[in-house]
Amino acid sequence: MLKQSLSQKLQQKMSPQQIQFMKMLQLGTSDFLEKIEQEVLDNPALEKSSEGDIDNEEYEKNDDFEGETISNTEDTFDEDISDYLSDSNDDGGFRLNDDYAEEERKEIPIPTFQSFYEYLIEQADTNIYNNHELELAHHLIGSLEDDGYLRRELRAIVNDLMFTANVSTSVEELEKVLHEIQKFDPAGVGARDLKECLLLQLNRKLTERTNKKPIELAIHILSEHFEAFTKMHYDKLTRSLKISETELKEAILEIKKLNPKPGQTSNSNYNEQYIIPDFKVINDEGNLSVTLNSKNAPELRISRNFQETLKAYSANTEDKQLKQSAQYAKDKIDSAKWFIDSIKQRQNTLLQTMKAIVAKQRDFFIDEDETMLKPMVMKDIADAIGMDISTVSRVANSKYVETSFGLYPLKYFFSEGLTTDSGDEVSNKEIKKILQTEIDKENKSKPLTDEELMEILTKKGYNIARRTVAKYREQLNIPVSRMRKQL
């Protein structure tokens, strides 16, 4: 049975400009630059710094613009058109970065490197001469994961080749091609598990070294006693292999030199990543200053061509086609204004947030000491700048600050607090620092347990539970005591 009823609901809706601002706020500098480039390409009314654009003052007259949707009706267009016309001949641009005019602008060169997969494809093209096998090699390389492992079953890859590429092959043939790929650099690539990856690297070392005994022993340990090795049952290994502790130590040292993730090798130029800092904090004899990266303050302006289009409409009100063109120009100018206003708002919000963080963590920036960090959550900064927590969260996302003593992500400065015996509140980063220090100087033949670490912290005045010690240890990527044991 159908029933009609009246109801009222109160809903909060965000304007297009607010949505655009929120999206831009969470972008890091590199992504922000890409966004600007894309917007300039998409909107012909928006231009970078160049001659022939209207004066900034002409658009600052429109302070009543709130980002509302522009109507396409004829009446609204006629009413608003005067706001877009100007007799100014000033070629000055609609600049966003007046506050940054004195800042030196330097382009940061971003080198382009060969990717991991391109590197392997190049080696395949050089070393495999059979066209059919080369096609199989390309498919196998494409099936590798980012860490360099092949975790798909060869049988599944055989089926893929048949159904997607109409290429007939067998598991044996793929195995043969895979062995060729496993000869490529970096050593260990194409392995199907950790054991195979380490053995591939050791076998290659065996052909390059004169002192082969430690490597041969390492190969034997991984091949025949892999489980005992991973569980660090060193006493069991020395007994079963009838070797000395020194010999075992030399073999394990060779294994520790290997790379468990050859696809993410740190010394290969195809995996380099560069971070562009969003902020810079300068300590001038105790006076801290915060600046925004100049790349976050681009020079954008509205195209004079679009202003001339609107002027042409003003003089030819009877021309319907010209009127449509002018409406299009007006819509694009509105969109450009929204974008520029969003950038201005983004700049102000970023600076306010960073200045509040620096004020809260002043001791850290002055003394350059991690233990001076104070407990701070996003609500603290949100309250300080009078904004929502979600806004602070967006600012902290993918943003970095450059200091004289290092580069830090903004999220680094947010941490929980703990109370000491004296009643002082300290950051959990201070606890982690102490844990790291104690573990670094422990006796590696008898590593400290979580219980012992808890007792050390208690003696230092930090009331902390064993499970909390375990949580912080895991956050530091430090294994349990049994896995830290060394000969």
Interhelix angle for 154-164 vs 171-181, to 10°? 110
Residue 272 covered by a domain: no
With a cut of 50, say whether residue 75 has pLDDT above it: no
Which pLDDT band, with edges at 50, 70 and 90, does 100 fall under? very low
Are residues 474 and 406 part of one domain?
yes
Q: Which of 264, 283, 308 is the last residue of a domain?
A: 264
Residue 7 covered by a domain: no
Which pLDDT band, with edges at 50, 70 and 90, does 265 fall under? low
Distances in whole angstroms, Cα of residue 266 to Cα of each of 114, 270, 409: 14, 9, 21
With a cut of 60, say whether residue 101 has pLDDT above it: no
Residue 134 covered by a domain: yes
Q: What is the pTM of this model?
A: 0.54
Are residues 238 and 353 part of one domain?
no
With a cut of 50, say whether residue 74 has pLDDT above it: no
Burial 236-255 (b: 16+ CB within 10 A, else e): ebeeebebeeeebebbbebb
Which pLDDT band, with edges at 50, 70 and 90, does 358 fall under? very high
Asked if residues 47 and 37 have their Cβ atoms less than 8 Å apart, the reply is no
With a cut of 80, say whether residue 408 has pLDDT above it: yes
Domain count, the chain: 3
Helices H / strands E in the chain, number of each: 22, 8
Higher pLDDT, 311 or 97: 311
Are residues 124 and 93 part of one domain?
no
Q: Render 99-168 in DSSP notation, one character per residue.
A: GGTTSPP----------HHHHHHHHHHHH---HHHHHHHHHHHHH--TTS---S-HHHHHHHHHHHS---
| pLDDT tens per residue, range 120-167 | 888 888 888 888 888 888 888 888 888 888 888 888 888 888 887 788
Q: What is the mean pLDDT of the chain?
A: 77
pLDDT computed for residue 374 by the predictor: 84
With a cut of 70, say whether residue 98 has pLDDT above it: no
Are residues 410 and 370 part of one domain?
yes
Phi, psi of 63 (to 5 degrees): -75, -10
Average the pLDDT over 37-56 and give the result.
Answer: 69
Residue 234 covered by a domain: yes
CA-based R_g, the chain, Å? 32
Are residues 134 and 222 part of one domain?
yes
Are residues 374 and 316 part of one domain?
no
With a cut of 60, say whether residue 304 has pLDDT above it: yes
pLDDT computed for residue 354 by the predictor: 92
Q: Which of 318, 339, 360 is the last residue of a domain?
A: 339
With a cut of 60, say whether residue 413 has pLDDT above it: yes
The encoded tokens of residue 327 equal 């409406």
pLDDT computed for residue 72 by the predictor: 37
Of 253, 258, 257, the C-alpha closest to 191 is 258
Are residues 428 and 367 part of one domain?
yes
Residue 99: which domain range?
A: 16-106+294-339
Are residues 218 and 171 part of one domain?
yes
| pLDDT tens per residue, range 233-250 | 888 888 888 888 888 888
Q: Which of 313, 339, 365 is the last residue of a domain?
A: 339
Higher pLDDT, 102 or 392: 392
Are residues 456 and 368 part of one domain?
yes
pLDDT computed for residue 355 by the predictor: 93
pLDDT computed for residue 356 by the predictor: 93
| pLDDT tens per residue, range 207-236 | 877 788 888 888 888 888 888 888 888 888
Are residues 215 and 82 part of one domain?
no
pLDDT computed for residue 54 by the predictor: 41
Residue 87 covered by a domain: yes
Residue 148 covered by a domain: yes
Higher pLDDT, 49 or 410: 410
Are residues 237 and 137 part of one domain?
yes
| pLDDT tens per residue, range 446-479 | 888 888 888 888 888 888 888 888 888 888 888 8
Q: Which three-class secondary structure state does DSSP give residue 419? A: strand
Residue 187 covered by a domain: yes
With a cut of 80, say whether residue 322 has pLDDT above it: no
Are residues 161 and 25 part of one domain?
no
With a cut of 70, say whether residue 268 has pLDDT above it: no
Residue 11 covered by a domain: no
Interhelix angle for 131-143 vs 116-127, to 10°? 160
